[in-house]
Amino acid sequence: MIGITLPDGSVKQVELGATPMDVAKSISEGFARNVISASFNNTTVEVSTPLTEDGSLVLYTWKQDEGKKAFWHSSAHVLAQALEELYPGIKLTIGPAIDNGFYYDVDFGSQPISEKDLQTIEKKMIDISRGKFEFSLRESSKADALDYYKKQGNEYKVELIENLEDGTITFCDHATFTDLCRGGHIPNTGIIKAVKLLSIAGAYWRGDENNIQLTRIYGISFPKQKELTEYLALLEEAKKRDHRKLGKELELFTFSRRVGQGLPLWLPKGAALRERLENFLKKAQKKAGYETVMTPHIGQKELYVTSGHYEKYGEDSFRPIKTPHEGEEFLLKPMNCPHHCEIYNSKPWSYRDLPKRYAEFGTVYRYEQSGELHGLTRVRGFTQDDAHIFCTPDQLNQEFKDVIDLVLYVFGSLGFEDFHTQVSLRDPEKPEKYIGSLENWEKAENAIINAATEKELEFDIVYGEAAFYGPKLDFMVKDALGRTWQLGTIQVDYNLPERFELTYKGSDNKLHRPIMIHRAPFGSMERFIAILLEHTGGNFPLWLMPEQVSILTLSEKYEKYAKKVLNLLENHEIRALVDDRNETIGRKIRDAEMNKTPYMVIVGEQEEKDGTISVRKHSEGTMGSMSIEAFADYINKEIKKTIKEFNV
Ligand SMILES: [Zn+2]
Ligand SMILES: [Zn+2]
C-alpha cells in the first residue's frame, strides 16, 4: 500500500500501482466522472499513470485552469490528427494549450488552406472525439524518436528532439495518431464535445522572422456544446465592445499615419473625458497631500544612465536626439521618476518635511514594434497618472496603505468592483535581473506584504514579476466580460534614491536615504480609457459621460424652449446638448441611443406650455414628464451614487 495525500490534507491508503483515476473513484464515482487531469508531487501526470510511491495528488476537473489546460492540450492532438488525415504529408511542429484554447503550427507545404476549410476540420475533430480514444504516454529513446521523425522528413520535430535530453522523451498515442509530447492529457477524446476553430494566422518557426513561416490554426473546445455557444456569444460581445470600434463611433480618439503609428490623437470628446478623469484624480490627490509638478518630455541621456533606465530601455528604444552644435544627447522620457528625483534634489530636506508627494500626469515614450501596437492598449506615447512619494522608513507602511486607499477609491468610482491583487517579488533564481542590494529588496518586499495584509487585501504572491528596481503590488481587475486586466500598480523603490543620492536630515542630524514609492492608479490614461470603454461598452458612469443629456426638439418651433432647458441644466452643472436637426423625433432618439447618451429630454408644444420636459433613459425608455428642476435634482443624485468624495 502507498499513502496518497489529498489537497485537504487527508491521506488515502491505496494499492501500489493504483492510478489517479482509481483514487478519484475511491473518493466517489460521481467525482471521478468529472476528473480530467492530475498532478503528483507537483508534476503533471496522466490520470492513468500507476502511482508507485507515497506522495501528494491533486485531481483536476474542467473548472480548474489545470483541467482546462489538459483539455485544450489534448484537443490540439485531435486537431493534429484531423489535419494529418485531411492533408497527408503535412509537417506538424508545436501545438500548445493557451489561456483560451490551443493552436497548432503546421507546415502545409504547397497544400492550400484557408478559413473556409476550418468547418471541415472541426467536423473531422468531432468524429475523432466520438471514438473515445484513450491518450497514452510512451517513453522513447532519443535515437528512436529522431529516427521516427527523420523517416517522416519532419525537420521541425527533429530539431525539437535534438534539444531534448535522452531519457526525458515521451510520445503520446491515441487512435492511430502519435505525437511528441510531455504529457498531461484528459482520459480520452470522448470528453471533447464541442470544437471551434477560430482563425488562421502566419507564425514563424520558433518565433524567428528569419525562419520559415508556418500556418497557425487557433481553436477552442469544450466539454459541453452550451459552453461553446456561451463562449462564442462572449467573443461577439467583446467585438462589439472593442475600444477601437467604440472610440471611433463615440468620436473619442483617432490615429493618423502621418502623425505616426502608436501615437493617439484625442478628439474633443475624448479629450474632455480624459480631462474629467484627470481632474477627478487630481482632486483626490490634493486631499491626500500630493503636490503637482511638471517636467519636460526629454532628458539628457546621462539622466537615464544614472537612473538605470538606459540600461533597461536604451538599446531597444527610440534613438537619442542630438543637438546640432553642443554635442548633447537627449532621450525621449521613458519614465517620469528620474525627473522627480531631481526635483527632490533641488533643496535639502529634514525628516520633518517628509513625506514629499510629487504628482504629474507625465507623458512618456517607449518604442514598441509596429506589429505589437494595438489601439490604445499598446502605444508608443502615453500619459501616466504618475506620482512619487519620498518618505522615511517609519512612514513607508502608512504611505503604502494610503496609496491602497486611493487606488480603491478610483476603482469604486469607475465601477470596477471585481478585483484581486498580486504581490510581485523578484525571481530568487535570477538575481542578475535586478538592481540594488539584497537587503533592500527584502525590506521592500516585506513592506508591501505587511501593508496589503493590514488593508485586508486578498493577494497572491508571484515570484519573478517585480520591476527591475523594486517589488510591487498590482491590482488585477475583472471586467464585465470576465477578462482580467492589470490596472494600478504601487512599487517600493530603494534603488533610485541610492542612484540619485537623495538625502534628508534625520532627527539624529545625520543624512539618510529616503524611500521612494512609485504609483499610478490608472496606470496610463490611454490604456485605462481603453479598458473602461470595453468594460462599460461606452456606457461610462454618469459623472464621466461626455454628454449626460440630449435635448431633442419635436420641431424647430421649440428651439427657443430647448435652449432654455439647456441653460437651466447647465446651471446645475449638467452636460447637455440640443439636437435641433431637421429630423424626426424617432431618428433623434435612435441617434442619442447610438451615442449612448444616458438621458434624452424631449420638448414640444405640451412641454413648453407646462414648463416641463419628457424624459427618456438610455436603453430603458420613457420616464414620463417632470419639471426641469426635478430632473436636474434627479441627475445630480444619480451622479452622487457613483462618485463619492475622497476622504483621507
Ligand atoms: Zn500531449
Ligand atoms: Zn516612477
pLDDT at 642: 82
Cα of 379 vs centre of ligand 1, distance in Å, is: 37
Cα-to-centroid distance, 71 and ligand 1 (Å) = 10
Tens digit of pLDDT for each residue in 548-559?
Answer: 999 999 999 999
What is the reported pLDDT for 444? 83
Phi, psi (degrees; rounded to nearest 5) at 511:
-85, 135
Between the CA of 66 and the centroid of ligand 1 the distance, in Å, is 14
337 labelled catalytic: yes
Distances (CA, A) of 41 to 6, 51, 180, 181, 319: 11, 11, 23, 20, 49
The ligand that comes nearest to the alpha carbon of residue 180 is 1
Distance (angstroms) between ligand 1 centre and the Cα of 187 equals 11
Q: What is the pLDDT of residues 480-494, one digit of tens each?
A: 888 889 888 899 998
Catalytic residue among 105, 179, 385, 386: 386
Catalytic annotation, pick one of 172, 181, 337, 391: 337
Catalytic residue among 333, 366, 380, 527: 366
344 pLDDT higher than 90: yes
518 is catalytic: yes
Residue 40: pLDDT over 90: yes
> Is the pLDDT at 562 greater than 90, yes or no?
yes
Starting at the edge strand found earlier in the chain, the sheet holding 298-300 runs 298-300, 329-332, 321-322
Q: Look up residue 234 and give its three cell numbers.
A: 462572449
Kindly report which listed range (5-19, 406-420, 430-444) carries the lowest average pLDDT score. 430-444
Catalytic: which of 69, 77, 333, 472?
472
Going by the DSSP 8-state scheme, the letter that residue 188 receives in this structure is B
Between the CA of 421 and the centroid of ligand 2 the distance, in Å, is 19
User: pLDDT value at position 435?
Assistant: 75
> How remote is the CA of residue 73 from the centroid of ligand 1, in Å?
6
Residue 384 a catalytic site member: yes
Q: Over range 6-29, report the average pLDDT.
A: 94
Lowest mean pLDDT among 32-36, 446-450, 641-645: 641-645
286 has pLDDT over 90: yes
User: What distance in Å separates the CA atoms of residue 490 and residue 423, rounded to the nearest whole number?
Assistant: 10
Ligand nearest to the CA of 390: 2
Edge-first strand listing for the sheet containing 472-478? 291-292, 356-365, 381-391, 515-520, 484-493, 472-478, 419-425, 459-463
Q: And the C-alpha cell for 83?
A: 489535419
**Residue 193's pLDDT is what?**
97
Judged against a pLDDT cut of 90, whether residue 226 lies above it is answered with yes
Banded model confidence at residue 153, pLDDT cuts 50, 70, 90: very high
Active site residue 206: no
Q: Residue 292 corresponds to which amino acid?
A: T
Other Cβ atoms within 10 Å of 577 Cβ, number:
17
Confidence tier at 641 by pLDDT (50, 70, 90): confident
| Spatial distance between the Cα atoms of 204 and 366, rounded to a whole number of angstroms | 25
Q: What is the DSSP pairing of strand 549-553 with strand 599-603?
A: parallel
Residue 68's pLDDT band (boundaries 50, 70, 90)? very high
pLDDT band at 311 (very low <50, low <70, confident <90, very high): confident
Q: Report the alpha-carbon distance of residue 583 to residue 487 in Å, rounded.
A: 43
* pTM strictly above 0.85: no
Active site (annotated) includes residue 610: no
- Following CA atoms 194, 200, 202, 204 in sequence, which dihedral angle do they give, to the nearest 10 degrees? 10
Mean pLDDT of 108-130: 95
Average pLDDT over residues 325-352: 96
Average pLDDT, the chain: 94
Burial class (CB in 10 A: 0-12, 13-18, 19+), 325: exposed
Instruction: Give the ligand with the smallest distance to the CA of 189.
Output: 1
**CA 109 → CA 88, 91, 113, 462, distances in Å?**
10, 8, 10, 42
CA of 196 to the centre of ligand 1 (A): 19
Going by DSSP bridges, is the β-strand pair 2-5/55-61 parallel, antiparallel, or unpaired? parallel
Residue range 28-46: mean pLDDT, rounded: 94
Query: What's the CA gap between 598 and 585, in Å, rounded?
Result: 17
Ligand nearest the Cα of residue 97 is: 1
C-alpha cell at 81: 490528427
Contact status, residue 518 vs residue 424, Cβ threshold 8 Å: no
Residue 391's closest CA among 286, 518, 516? 516
Within a 10 A sphere around the Cβ of 5, how many other Cβ atoms?
15
Query: Any idea which ligand is nearest the CA of 389?
Result: 2
**CA of residue 173 to ligand 1 center, whole Å:** 8
CA gap 83, 195 in Å, rounded: 14
Q: What is the pLDDT of residue 402?
A: 96
Residue 198 has phi, psi (to 5 degrees) of -90, -40
104 three-state secondary structure: strand
- Of the listed ligands, the closest to the CA of 307 is 2
The region of weakest confidence among 148-157, 219-228, 314-323, 328-337 is 314-323
* 308 vs 36, higher pLDDT: 36
Q: Give the pLDDT of residue 367.
A: 92
Residue of 196, 274, 357, 388 marked active site: 388
Q: What is the pLDDT of residue 316?
A: 78
Residue 403 C-alpha to ligand 2 middle, in angstroms? 14
List 101's β-bridge partners, or say none.
Answer: 98
Strand partners, 603: 553
| CA 247 to ligand 2 center in whole angstroms | 29
How do residues 493-505 score in pLDDT, each as one tens digit?
988 999 999 999 9
**Per-residue cell: 191:** 470528453
User: What integer is the mean pLDDT of 189-217?
Assistant: 95
Residue 490 in grid coordinates: 504601487
Measured in Å, residue 294 CA sits from the centre of ligand 1 at 55
* Residue 308 CA, ligand 1 centroid: distance in Å: 43
Output the CA 34–ligand 1 centroid distance in Å. Answer: 20
Residue 315: is its pLDDT beyond 80? no
| Rounded-to-5 percentages of helix, strand, coil across the chain | 40, 30, 35
Ligand nearest to the CA of 387: 2
- Average of per-residue pLDDT across 53-76: 96
Residue 66 burial by Cβ neighbours in a 10 Å radius (0-12, 13-18, 19+): middle
Q: Is 386 a catalytic residue?
A: yes
- Whether the pLDDT of residue 356 is over 80: the answer is yes
SS3 state of residue 434: coil
- The answer to whether 279 and 413 are in contact (CB under 8 A) is no
- Confidence band, pLDDT 50/70/90 cuts, at residue 371: confident
Position 350 scores a pLDDT of 97
Phi and psi dihedrals of 443, rounded to 5?
Answer: -60, -45
* Candidate list 518, 527, 535, 596, residue with the active-site label: 518
Q: Are 301 and 310 in contact (CB under 8 A)?
A: yes
Residue 101 has pLDDT above 90, yes or no: yes
Identify the three-state secondary structure at position 4: strand
